[in-house]
Structure formats: structure tokens, C-alpha cells
A and B are shown apart, each in its own frame.
Chain A
Amino acid sequence: MIYFDNSATTKINSGVLDTYNKVSQNIWGNPSSLHQFGSEAHNLLTQSRMQIAKLLNVSPGEILFTSGGTEGDNWAIKGTAMIKRKFGNHIITTSVEHAAVHNPVEQLKKLGFEITYLPVDKNGRVSVEDLKKAIRPTTILVSIMAVNNEIGTIEPVKAIGELLKKYPKITYHIDAIQGVAKGLENIIFNDRVDLVSFSGHKFHAPRGTGFNYKRDGKKIAPLMAGGGQERGLRSGTENLPGIAAMAKAFRLVMTNEDEKVRHQRQIKSEIFNHIKKFPNVIIFSKNDDTFAPHILCFAIKGVRGETVVHAFEKYGIYISTTSACSSRDQSVTSTLSSMHVDSSIAEDAVRISLDENNTIEEAKKFNQVFDQLYQQFSKLS
């Protein structure tokens, strides 16, 4: 089996699973309880938080645990809107965000907020200039993804941070869910960012885990109100086994990051350089450092994405039509349509997404299968 769908979800790492099991069996107290079961749990919670903070070079109090990426995005957006409504009602985001950003923003629109969706160029990238023009005195939030989940564009989140230094009151949120351990920490954790969302299962941690970075002092309303966990900002009994496992997964994925990035780029190049030779292939991702190392989106003209996915599956190769969350939806992918790709071609798009455990051999095997399938498809059309 060759698993090339790591942007949808990743396989849990076996050491991470060990941690999950050990904590589940040994330290299952409620961190809020005052007895020794509780304090053991509380200590581990603190350690996990410190470990993640250290790897990101931020302070532990700036890491807040959530149930995953979607919650993190929803919280950043709605929590900011709730607390800043009195200062303004304008939000700026992009036309290529994941549904976890797009849909809460649309909900706010129904509640009276004004939304600017920044357009993108033919590489799926927004321009800082467009953003600058969009800013109004009533702008309270800018929410931009670090890495696009459909084609892998790296958005200019650092340059945007530079621009926003002139607008200190605007909350700046980055969806970094596709950007973990891809060599992008320096641009994501720029001087100006206020909120960053992460999802555990995208880096070999179990589902039901995630965290938001929140800059010290930045105000946000809780989305989950209740028992007051996470300093009152995210209530609910902490998923300690999940959190400890996520901290470990994060450490593992961040170890030798540069090498892992290079490795993924090599695999991507192997496939990119192969498929680009075929006349009916259109590649939407670029093979350079303006794009993430792990995502390659392309189409075989005239062959529906779904057909391509199923054809590869027969050979034990798992790829996907663009974003997993809307795979069952028939509507055409939003990133490609925002790039003004013709809808007949956008329907043909598929996505390969790698991680550090994939190999060059797998890429070669993929290329062989690709040749066969390409021939079959050509005969059909």
C-alpha cells in the first residue's frame, strides 16, 4: 500500500500510540482535581504544553488545547468576532480558505458582519497589496491560511504580518493546519501573528487533538464555555492521553525538520518531473519553494478526478480528489475555481499529499502505475 493522502489524515506513529496507551492506563485523573491523581495529570498537562511551546519558541501560556483544527479555526474566528464586535464588523480572509474558516465566516456574514474575500493569482496566492486596499477602520480580523490544502500554495503570511504591524488593533489569525514541520515556522510565527490553529491528526497524533497558539494578552472569547479549563478559554475535561501523545508526535515530526522537508521535496520532484511530460496533464502546484513540499495537485484532462482516484486505488495507491472534507460533495473545488481554472478541468483534479515516511521508491512505483493508467485513459477518450 502506498498512502499519498497525508493532507486528509495521517497514520498515528507507533511511539505516539504507546504514549496514548500509557497515559490512558496510568495517568487518567482529571487535571482539575486536587488529589494526587489530579496533580499527576496536571503535571503531565503542563509538560506537554511546555514541550510544544518550546518547539515553537513561544511561551507555554500561549498554547491552548482544542479538539482539532476545525474547532481551532471556528474559535479563532467566532471568538474574535464576539469580543471585538463593538470595535467593528469587518473581516478579511481569502477565497481559498478551508471550509473550517470559510463557513464560520459565512455564518458571521449572516449575523451582520462584512466580509472581504481576497482574490488569488494563478498560483492560488493572495497579494499583500490587495490586502492593504481591503483594510478599513472597522476591520477586526484577518484570517489567512499558511499552506493551501488543495494545491499547496504558501501564502505570504510573513509579508502580511509586516503590513499588519501598521494596524496593531487587527487580530491576525493563521490556519497552519497544513503547514506543520514543512520548514515554515519562521514565516508563520512572524512578529505580528496573534492566533495560529493546528490539528493533531495531520502530524501522526490521534484524532480529537489540536491546539491554538494565542499571543499573550490578545483577547478572545471562549467558544466552549463551562468548567474553566485552559484558563477559562476552552472548557471541557482535558484529553490528557491525546494531549501527551500530540506533544510527542509534534516533537517527533519537528525533529530533523529540514531533512524531512528536503526528502518530501525530492519525492514530489520525482513525480512532478515525470507527469509533466504528458500532454494531457495539467499541474496546478509548483515544484519550488513557493509551494509546500508535500502537496502536488494535477489533472489528467478529460478524466474525472474520482475516476483517477479509484484507478490508483486498484493498485493500492491512495490519493484523493482535492480536499477530503468535500470529496463527497459534487461541487467543484474552491481553490481551483478561485484561480479561474475552467470547471471542466477542475473536475479532473487530484491531489497527492506526502509525509516524511513516504519514499522515492513509492514515487517510482506511482510513476509506473501512472504510465499504465495514462495509456488506458487515452484509449478511452
Chain B
Amino acid sequence: MVKEIYLDNAATTPISKEVLADMNDKLKNVYGNASTLYQLGRNSKRILDRSRHIIAQSINADDNEIVFTSGGTESDNTAIMQTALARKKLGNHIITTSIEHEAVLKPLKYLENHGFRVTYLPVDSKGNISLSDFKKALDDDTILVTIMTGNNEVGSRMPIHEIGEILKNHQAWFHTDAVQAYGLLDIDVKKDHIDMLSTSAHKLNGPKMVGFLYRRNGINYPSFIKGGDQESKRRAGTENVPGISGFATAVKNLPSTEKKHRQDVYYQYKKEIIDGLKKNQIDFEINGELNRHNLQHVFNIWIKGISTYVMQANLDLAGIAVSGGSACTAGSIAPSHVLTAMYGTKSPRISQSIRISFGRYTTESDIQFLIKNIAKIVKQIKKRKQEEV
């Protein structure tokens, strides 16, 4: 068996021991339906309340502003589709960026086909949008602005705080997809004037198919998944109490200090990779930018002359998992819409880049092993090419 090194933590992360232990406890002992009257059910309700509180505090929200969902996709779809439904009388314009996740872009595409106007803000080569573009796009018809906190392919961060400030005096509601950022950044929904925010537990060593949608008090729309009265009638369906409790445990394990620590460690990993590749005389460039501000768990590089597919497959043979883009564009190696937005369709970067993403269990030696193998693969391929010439 080859060594297994997982550097695809932006796609999904392994569940942590603490989270799994907590879920096992709840699965075995607290299986009452939280909506029922008797003690078993009341225990479920208590765990639900406690989890909600932990999670609300993590973003400085009130407990009743947290609605548990089945994950990032549902949270994004809910915020977008239901805002459009509730507010179509006020206007039909929506602003987003060209580098959002498909869970945002797909519902927007649907709305575009049904009479809404969507502005996709362009990004520069660093993966950043410009605030002046944003201000220009904003008009009296704008009912929703949905802009991600940080990008899943290149780690660039959007000016959430500034956008929130601008929208304070505008009718548009502000949604941000924080699925990638939530595990690494301190987010304060009050300070940043965020109306809605999406997360997904499996990106921070929590369980899959669990997430939440923060929805500021005062923001009202009909529920997306309708049925029973769970989640104060805002999300129907028997509550996934063990999953929600596991999510809260994952969040509890990520205090501010830990998030800062990880940002630092991952930043160092990036620098090591850069140094290591340079030392091995590999011709590469960063897609986006190395700075202290970005999401540090995502590192996207262009290894010149070597196709994404070849590099990924060879690393895979060596036991190293990296991604050719975002995993969520299910199994496809279609060109990344993020890199395309940054560099244009003709850039060789589109077909010669890999995404390396770090997580809680990534180690120093994983990074060294990665560097060694990239160097080896590049040399082999170069050699083969020379022989062919």
C-alpha cells in the first residue's frame, strides 16, 4: 500500500475523533424526535438548543437566527431562491461574482431563465473583485447581493465588510457563502452587516449533510423545505440532532486562536512549497496571490507545461490527493470557471494547474513528500519529452 497523503481538504475533510465520539453518543442515547412531548424528545431538544447557541456565538448571531440545513448547497439555494421569491416585487436584479461556487451559480442561472437580471462581477488575476465595479452594478432594482466570503479554488477573499457597509443603506439583502471561510476566519455578522450566511460542517471536520444558514432577524422569506414545524417553521424535516451536535463540537474545537494558528501554519506550508519547488527549479506560478489576508488552506499553482490531468494522476499514483479544481463540479475535469475568470479562456493556466488544500491533519512531512514528488514527476515528464524530440 502506498503512503496516503490527503491534500484535498477544500473538497471535504475527515471527520474528527471528537466529533464522531459525540455523534455516537447522541445516536445511541438521544434518539427521541425533538418535536415529541416526552423526555427522550426533550433531551433532543436540549441538545439542539445547546448546539444552536454554540454556533450562533461563533458568528455573533442570536440563537434564533441559525437555521440548520442539509449543507452548503441547501443553504445557498435557500438564500437565493427564497429571496428572489419573496422580493420580486421590489426588483429583479441580483449581483454576484464570476467565481462563486456552483451552489450559488446554478440557482442564479435558473432565476436568469425566469426573468431576473444577474450581474457577475469580474475578478482580476489575483481573484479579487473591485468595489467600484460593485458600486456601479448596484441599482434601485437590486434585491440581492450574493458574494462569497472566500473562494474555494484560489483562496481569494471578497471585501465582505465593505460590501456590508455599502448595503446598509440599500434595499438589497446581503448573502455570503462562507462554506470555505467559516473554519478559518472569525466572522462577525453584525459588524459586517451580513443578512444571510451559508456554511457546511464537513469542511471543518464535521459530519456531511449538515450545515446552517444564518438569517438575520428581520429577513423574512417563505421556507424552502416545507413540512413540519421544525426550526421555527423555517426548515422542515426531522432534525438531524446527532449531526447538528457533531457540527457544534467541530465548531467548539475551532476557537479564534485555533483558526489564527491554522491560517499561520497553512501560510507557512505555502511558503515551503514555493521554496521547495524553486529549489528544484520547477517552472511554476501561483494562481492568485500569496498574502497574509487570503484563505490559507487553498493553494492553487500553475506548473508550466504539465497538464492538470497528468500531474494529478501521477500524484495520485504516489499516494497524494490533490484536486484539478473544485471537486464539486462532480467528477469533471472541465476547465475551472474560476481560473477562466482570472486569466481568460486562452491561458495555459486553465489546463495546467492543480489545487492543493490543507487541513487539520496535514503535516510538515506531507508537504515535503509533495514537493519531492512534484519535482520527480516534472523531471520524468521533461525527460520523456526530450527523448521524444
A interface residues, Cβ below 8 angstroms from B: 3, 5, 8-12, 17, 20-21, 24-25, 28-38, 42, 67-71, 73-74, 98-104, 106-107, 199, 201, 206-209, 223-229, 232, 235-242, 306, 309-310, 313, 318, 320-321, 323-329
Number of A-B contacts (CB under 8 A): 275
Residue of A nearest to B179 (CB): A237
Residues of A within 8 A of B321 (CB): 29, 33, 35-38
Q: Is the CB of B227 within 8 A of A206?
A: no
Residues of B within 8 A of A306 (CB): 37
Residue of B nearest to A7 (CB): B33
Q: How far is the CA of A313 from the CA of B20 in the complex (A)?
A: 30
Of A3, A309, A325, which contacts B227 at CB under 8 A? Answer: A325
Given contacts A32-B331, A35-B312, A235-B103, contact A104 B36 (CB under 8 A): no
Q: Is the CB of A34 within 8 A of B331?
A: yes
Q: How far is the CA of A8 from the CA of B35 in the complex (A)?
A: 9
Of B38, B73, B320, which contacts A226 at CB under 8 A? Answer: B73
Residue of B nearest to A77 (CB): B226
Of A107, A209, A309, A325, which contacts B228 at CB under 8 A? Answer: A325
Q: How far is the CA of A232 from the CA of B110 in the complex (A)?
A: 14
For chain B, residues 192 to 225, give those with C-beta under 8 angstroms from any C-beta of chain A.
200, 202, 207-210, 222, 224-225
B interface: dominant SS:
loop
Q: Is the CB of B35 within 8 A of A21?
A: no
Given contacts A225-B110, A309-B38, A326-B228, contact A21 B20 (CB under 8 A): yes
Of A34, A37, A235, A310, which contacts B37 at CB under 8 A? Answer: A310
CB proximity of A103 to chain B, nearest CB, Å: 4
Q: Can you list 16 A-B pairs with a CB-CB distance of less than 8 A?
A: A10-B31, A36-B316, A70-B227, A70-B236, A74-B224, A99-B227, A225-B103, A226-B73, A236-B74, A236-B103, A237-B328, A238-B209, A241-B208, A324-B228, A325-B238, A326-B228
Q: How far is the CA of A225 from the CA of B157 in the complex (A)?
A: 24
Of B40, B107, B329, which contacts A228 at CB under 8 A? Answer: B329
Q: Which of B6-14, B117-125, B289-297, B373-381 contacts A (4 or more CB under 8 A)?
A: B6-14
Q: How far is the CA of A242 from the CA of B313 in the complex (A)?
A: 29
Q: How far is the CA of A272 from the CA of B40 in the complex (A)?
A: 25
Residues of B within 8 A of A103 (CB): 226-227, 236
Question: Which residue, of A238, A242, A324, has the highest number of chain B Cβ atoms within 10 A?
Answer: A324
Whether a CB of chain A sits under 8 angstroms from the CB of B281 is no
Q: Is the CB of B20 within 8 A of A24?
A: yes
Q: Is the CB of A74 within 8 A of B227?
A: yes
Of A21, A29, A99, A235, which contacts B12 at CB under 8 A? Answer: A29
Q: Is the CB of B106 within 8 A of A225?
A: yes
Q: Is the CB of A34 within 8 A of B238?
A: no
Nearest first, the 6 closest Cβ-Cβ pairs linking A and B are: A325-B228, A227-B328, A226-B103, A100-B227, A67-B70, A70-B237
Whether a CB of chain A sits under 8 angstroms from the CB of B102 is yes
Given contacts A33-B327, A70-B228, contact A320 B243 (CB under 8 A): no
Given contacts A67-B209, A306-B37, contact A235 B106 (CB under 8 A): yes
CB proximity of A145 to chain B, nearest CB, Å: 13
Q: Is the CB of A209 within 8 A of B8?
A: no
For chain B, residues 10 to 29, give those with C-beta under 8 angstroms from any C-beta of chain A.
11-15, 20, 24, 27-28
